[in-house]
Amino acid sequence: MKKYLITGCAGFIGSNFVYYMLKKYNDILLVNLDKLTYAGNLENLKGCEGDSRHIFVQGDICDKELVSSLFAQYDFDYVINFAAESHVDRSIANPEIFVQTNVMGTVNLLQRAKEAWYDTEKKSWKEGKKYLQVSTDEVYGALGAEGFFTETTPINPHSPYASSKASADHFVKAFHDTYGMPINITRCSNNYGPYQFPEKLIPLMINNVKHHKQLPVYGDGMQIRDWLYVEDHCKAIDMVANAGKIGEVYNVGGHNERPNIFIVKTIIEQLCNRLQDDGISEALIKHVEDRLGHDRRYGIDPNKIKADLGWYPETPFEVGIVKTIDWYLENEEWMNRVTSGTYQSYYAEMYKNR
C-alpha cells in the first residue's frame, strides 16, 4: 500500500487531487493535513467521509512535532505539498504570512521528510520515497506577447506570493542538490474547476453574476493567463509523483490562453443563457484600479511533461468552463456558506474602494 501525506487537502486543488486519487487507486492511504484557514473547507472533502483510505488531520505544516509524528506513524512514501497561501491580492496586503506558510512550512516538511527517509547509517535514501512540491508559473514573472515559460526560464517573481513560492522551490531544489533528496517540482498555469474559493476570478465572477453584483475587472482586463482544468492538473501530479525523473521540474499547462476580460464575458454569456435572466449583461462589468505589479501574460510550454510522461491537457477551455459553471450552479449551498462571514469584509477591502 502506497502512503501519501497530502498537505492543503481541504483547499481547491488539494481536494480535487484527493478525489482523483481515491477514484483511480484502491490500495492507497491518503493522510490529509490541512490547517483549515479561510480557503480550507472540510466540506470540500465531504465525499470522502467513511472512506478508510482517507484520514484527515487538522494542523499546520509549520508544526514540527505534528509533522514528525505523522511521519513516524505512517512511514509515508510520498509527500505532495499543496499547502500554501495562494492569492496575490492577499500577499500584497500581508506578505509575512506568505513567508511563514509557503517558505517556512515547506522547509519544515522537507526537514521532517529528510529525518524520516534518510538512513544515516547507510548514508542513503530509502527506496520509493519522493517529495513533490506543487508550485506555480508565477515564479517565472511575466512574458511578452510571444514565447512561453519553459523549465529553464529564469525565476523572476514579481508579487510577494510569487516570491514566496519561488523561495520554496529553491529550498526544494537545494534539498535535492545538497542532500540528494528525491524531489520533483511542478509549476502549473491558472487552475479552474470545482471547489475553488471565490477570491479567484472564475468563481468570483460566477457568484457575482448570479447576484447581479458588479464584476470587478483589473485595469483593461487584457491580462492573459493559460487556463488548466483542475482534473487535468491532478492527473499530471500523479504521473510526476510516480514516474517523474528525480530532481526534475515539470511545467503543467493547458494550452488555453485567454484574456481575463474574455473569461468574464464568457461567464456572463453562459449564465445569461442558462438562467434566462435579463439582469445579466456586460453592464455589470466595472473596470477597477489595476493590481500592483500585475503581470501582463503567462503562458506555459508543457512539452517536457508530454515527452517524458505522456501527459497532455484533455479538457479544452470551452468544455471545462461549462463543467465548472455547472458545478457551481448545482452547489449553491456550498457557495453560500463559503461566502458568508469574513468573506464579505475581505471582498469589500479588495474591491469596493477601487
**R_g over Cα of the chain:** 20
The beta strand positions in the chain, using DSSP E, are 2-7, 28-34, 54-58, 78-81, 118-119, 124-125, 130-136, 183-188, 190-192, 215-218, 224-229, 249-252, 257-259, 285-288
With contact defined as beta carbons under 8 Å apart, do 20 and 46 qualify? no
Query: What letter would DSSP give residue 51?
Result: -
Which distant-in-sequence residues (6+ apart) come within 8 Å of 37 by Cβ? 85
Could you report the per-residue pLDDT of 293-331, keeping only the tens digit for each?
888 999 999 999 999 999 999 999 999 999 999 999 999
* Strand, helix or coil for residue 310: coil
* pLDDT single digits (tens) 115-137: 999 999 999 999 999 999 999 99
Task: Give per-residue pLDDT as tens, 269-295.
Answer: 999 999 999 899 999 999 999 888 888
Q: Is the pLDDT of residue 344 over 60?
A: no
Q: How far apart are CA 109 and CA 316, in angstroms?
A: 35
The CATH number for 2-192+229-254+296-314, chosen from 3.40.50.720, 1.20.1530.20, 3.30.1330.80, 2.130.10.10, is 3.40.50.720
The strand order across the sheet containing 190-192 reads 190-192, 224-229, 257-259
Question: Which of 187, 197, 199, 144 has the alpha carbon at shortest distance from 162?
Answer: 187
88 contacts 158 by C-beta, under 8 angstroms: no
Q: Please, where are the H alpha helices in 193-277? A: 201-210, 230-243, 260-275
DSSP 143: -
pLDDT the model gives residue 343: 46
Q: What is the SS3 assignment for 2?
A: strand
Report the pLDDT averaged over residues 216-236.
Answer: 95
SS (HEC) of 269-294: HHHHHHHCCCCCCHHHEEEECCCCCC
Query: How many helices and strands, by DSSP H and E, does the chain display?
Result: 13, 14
Pairing label, strands 124-125, 118-119: antiparallel
Q: What is the pLDDT of residues 130-169, one digit of tens each?
A: 999 999 999 999 888 788 999 999 999 999 999 999 999 9
In percent, how much of the chain has pLDDT > 90? Answer: 82
Active site residues: 137-138, 161
Residue 37 pLDDT greater than 60, yes or no? yes
DSSP 300: B
Please give the grid coordinates belonging to residue 107: 522547509
Q: Which amino acid is at 77?
A: D
CB neighbours of residue 46 within 10 Å: 10
The per-residue pLDDT for 347 is 45
Contact partners, residue 29, CB within 8 Å, separation at least 6: 1, 2, 3, 4, 53, 55, 74
Q: What's the CA gap between 33 and 79, in Å, rounded? A: 11
- φ and ψ of 216, to 5 deg: -70, 120
Map out the domains of the chain as residue ranges: 2-192+229-254+296-314
CB neighbourhood size of 350 (10 A): 19
End-to-end CA distance of the chain: 52
Amino acid at position 244, single letter: G
Quote the cell numbers at residue 246.
528525480
Residue 353 has pLDDT above 80, yes or no: no
Q: What is the pLDDT of residues 67-83, one digit of tens each?
A: 999 999 999 999 999 99
Spatial distance between the Cα atoms of 346 and 342, rounded to a whole number of angstroms? 6
